[in-house]
Amino acid sequence: MRAYERLLKYVRVYTTSDPNSGTHPSAEREFDLARILVEDMKAIGIEDAFVDEHCYVYGTIPATPGCESKPALGLIAHMDTAPDASGENVNPILHENYDGRDVTLPATGMVMKVSTFPFLKELKGETLITTDGTTLLGADDKAGVSEILTAAETLMAEGRPHGKICIAFTPDEEIGEGAFLFDIPGFGADFAYTVDGGDVGGIEYENFNAASATVTVHGFSVHPGSAKDAMINASNVAMEFHQALPVMARPETTEGRQGFYHLCQMYGDVTEAKLGYILRDHDAGKLQFKKDNLLHIACYLNGKYGEGTVEVEIKDSYRNMIEKIKPHFHLVENARKAIEKAGLTPKEVPVRGGTDGAVLSWKGLPCPNLGTGGFNFHGVCECTTVERMDKATEVLLNIIEIYAH
């Protein structure tokens, strides 16, 4: 079975994670795909495949004779899809021999324009897979899941030599919790790759340091007709807080290694208002500055409106994996070789985001990220191609071969 055939099956399973549940997994529906994957793993010969109580799927392929002393290599992808767009009732559409022009998504009439997405021209002649326009596709990261299982099936069916291969599929990556309950000792790998990147040929080993912040503003409400010198409007103070942050440090005004403050949520009334931020920077010192800046603004506003008016709660999310990858840089070097062997040029860019691999690297499992062949994640314009998924599978097989020698 080719990777795209698995993808077409898996994207139809509703696995959107829920950032507000507070449970692990965040949504019981994630078990639906987990159980299917266990069945599929056992069907191709991964006999010890299982899903644990927190919806983590694990399985191993024992080393072939003569390769028992080779490093145990892990391959990891996530099952959930982002809550940014609907992941329910996904209807994938295949566009064979795609002509490289604008694509109309049939259910909504939305047009994926080449002028907006210039990479589409590079996909000419390939079999493009899109949504029908009503949902995201779920290639992030069911393409990675599909490519790992296709590589595993090929490996065993063809009897290729290999060291121990450890496979895991995680829940809740899209809400930043995919690696929280990952069983690294039980997984059994010496090091691993997440297969959760963009275009095939990508190698990612430098990501944002990340934190989130919740700003709560407590106001004081009186009748607006007699409010002079008495009312403290929480919504106005919240806007004042946000306006104190630099305009040129927002997602829409930054690129490359530039960090940002991103206002994700804002709601309130006179009595109480809340702002939800995510903070990102590749430089840990600059992220700390951003966290300190939020506290300084709160301190200023509390001095202006009264102590306790503004409260800031900051939580660290994940850190830049590069510090943990550098001592194991063979992971990057061998990925480069594997990509070149597949006839591609490696692409190495800093990730303006994070992966399970960032958290796992800091927990002791060095774990750079590989491209899946997907584009436009987290929205209705998400897409991939059959051929790029085949290439991503080939890259995985090449990596396994390199570590077997």
Instruction: Return the closest-CA partner of residue 197 out of 402, 11, 356.
Output: 356
Cα(9)–Cα(129) distance, integer angstroms:
13
DSSP string, 137-181: --HHHHHHHHHHHHHHHHHHHTT-----EEEEEES-GGGT-TTTT
Put the strands of the sheet holding 369-371 in their side by side order: 50-51, 57-61, 165-170, 73-78, 191-197, 369-371, 202-204, 347-348
Instruction: State the DSSP code for 101.
Output: S
* Long-range contacts from 116-124, C-beta under 8 angstroms, 24+ separation: 117/375, 117/376, 117/381, 119/199, 119/375, 123/98, 123/385, 124/98, 124/99, 124/100
Of the residues 18, 30, 40, 80, only one is catalytic, namely 80
Instruction: Classify residue 39 as exposed, middle or buried by CB count within 10 Å of its CB (0-12, 13-18, 19+).
Output: exposed
Residue 240 appears among annotated catalytic residues? no
Residue 229 appears among annotated catalytic residues? no
Cα(119)–Cα(190) distance, integer angstroms:
36
Of the residues 173, 174, 199, 382, only one is catalytic, namely 173
Catalytically annotated residues = 80, 173
